[in-house]
């Protein structure tokens, strides 16, 4: 007998105080039934499952790539997008974006410090817009959430792209859009993820969650590629690199889910797909019990395997970015992936122990990230 609840899942942490894209989206699908012996694992069948997400053709990623790959395409469409702002105004706007990022997304912020100044500012501006979007459904004013609120937010997004920002933080994004020719679709899709969050309270399977994950996290990868830039000497297609960026968002999302299971359970939230819980003999009731069992450990092992799979896919694009962007992207990827190691070190107890990466470990990761960022590999898709 499994408990059922009608509580809305949220994609990110609360207003101005959560981790970047603190969404709960992806989890693994177990291939075994009830597992009572820790060493028995269904991992050998897992790779089949990893390919059962939503085809990126359905997400129209190729259309986004075509539009964003055209240099200055947005600037040519509308002179309003060339809006000029006083340098001191922009300096303050980007400074506010930086402060928000530094305070509430420390690991992410560390990666931005390795970027060029122009890319730093653009990344902070994108981060802040994403966080404000999340706050609509998971912030202190979420009780006032309605379809009309999200509709108005989407209208405001269009104003930002048209060169008519509502406030200083919006202005930072308007300038970023102009400089890097960003496409509006990933931003609109993120808003759609918020809409989904207000009407869908449980996810039956991985396919449903993959779509949700795209909306609330994969979109960020698509927003970021034009800012990071694709190396002129890259030997792979732009579409492959965009897909890799999308996969990085998925890997981050899955990691968030695994890290925050206990915290979410205290709020009555379960983001694990119902069919995956059932395949390991588990249900919502077991999650709320907050007890680590052999079956739970096996489920967590499979989920970590899936998360690492997506991080591996993301690596295939990280080395194809412009040289100045590779080190920060590799650093963020490797540091975030270490959260999975921390879950293992905690014996898969993500109910009462929070997995995190300490500052020393973060700093020790930087040389490895730097070494991975140096060569342009022509064999990454082998």
> What integer pLDDT is reported at residue 173 of this predicted model?
97
- Beta-carbon contacts of residue 111 (< 8 Å; ≥ 6 apart): 328, 329, 331, 332, 335
d(CA 260, CA 265): 8
Predicted TM-score (pTM) of the model is 0.81
Place of tokens 């809305």: 8
Handedness of CA 71, 179, 112, 168 (dihedral sign): negative
CA distances from 331 to 103, 305, 342, 374 (A): 19, 20, 17, 13
Handedness of CA 5, 7, 10, 16 (dihedral sign): negative
> What integer pLDDT is reported at residue 42 of this predicted model?
43
d(CA 245, CA 243): 5
Distance of CA 115 to the CA centre of its chain: 19
> What integer pLDDT is reported at residue 39 of this predicted model?
43
d(CA 245, CA 248): 5
- Decide if 181 contacts 68 (C-beta within 8 A): yes
- Decide if 251 contacts 317 (C-beta within 8 A): no
> What integer pLDDT is reported at residue 105 of this predicted model?
87
> pLDDT averaged over consecutive 10-residue blocks of the chain (382 residues)?
36 37 38 38 40 73 84 47 77 95 87 93 96 87 82 96 94 95 95 89 86 92 95 92 95 90 86 89 94 94 91 93 94 94 97 94 93 66 41
d(CA 369, CA 372): 5
d(CA 13, CA 253): 12
């Amino acid at each position: 007998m499994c408990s059922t609840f009608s509580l809305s899942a949220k994609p990110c942490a609360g207003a101005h105080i959560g981790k970047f894209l603190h969404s709960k989206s992806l989890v693994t699908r177990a291939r075994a039934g009830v597992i009572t012996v820790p060493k028995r694992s269904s991992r050998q069948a897992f790779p089949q499952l990893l390919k059962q997400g939503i085809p990126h053709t359905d997400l129209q990623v190729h259309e986004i790539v075509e539009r964003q790959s055209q240099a200055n395409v947005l600037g040519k469409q509308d002179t309003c997008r060339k809006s000029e702002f006083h340098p001191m105004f922009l300096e303050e706007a980007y400074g506010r974006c930086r402060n928000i990022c530094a305070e509430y997304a420390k690991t992410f912020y560390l990666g931005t410090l390795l970027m060029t100044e122009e890319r730093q500012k653009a990344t902070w501006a994108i981060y802040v817009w994403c966080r404000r979007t999340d706050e609509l459904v998971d912030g202190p004013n979420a009780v006032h959430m309605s379809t009309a609120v999200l509709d108005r937010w989407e209208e405001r997004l269009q104003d930002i792209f048209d060169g008519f920002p509502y406030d200083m933080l919006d202005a930072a994004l308007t300038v970023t859009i102009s400089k890097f020719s960003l496409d509006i679709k990933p931003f609109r899709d993120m808003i759609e993820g918020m809409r989904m969050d207000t009407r869908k309270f449980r996810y039956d399977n991985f396919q449903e969650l993959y779509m949700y994950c795209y909306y609330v996290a994969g979109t960020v990868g698509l927003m970021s590629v034009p800012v990071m830039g694709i190396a002129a000497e890259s030997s792979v297609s732009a579409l492959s690199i965009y897909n890799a960026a999308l996969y990085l968002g998925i890997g981050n999302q899955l990691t968030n889910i695994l890290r925050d299971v206990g915290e979410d359970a205290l709020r009555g939230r379960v983001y694990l797909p119902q069919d995956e819980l059932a395949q390991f003999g588990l249900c919502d009731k077991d999650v709320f019990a907050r007890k680590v069992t052999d079956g739970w450990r096996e489920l967590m092992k499979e989920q970590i395997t899936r998360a690492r799979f997506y991080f591996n896919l993301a690596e295939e694009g990280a080395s194809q970015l412009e040289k100045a962007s590779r080190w920060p992207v590799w650093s963020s990827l490797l540091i975030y992936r270490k959260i999975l190691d921390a879950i293992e070190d905690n014996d898969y107890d993500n109910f009462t122990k929070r997995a995190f990466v300490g500052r020393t470990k973060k700093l020790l990761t930087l040389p490895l990230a730097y070494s991975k960022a140096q060569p342009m590999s022509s064999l990454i898709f082998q």
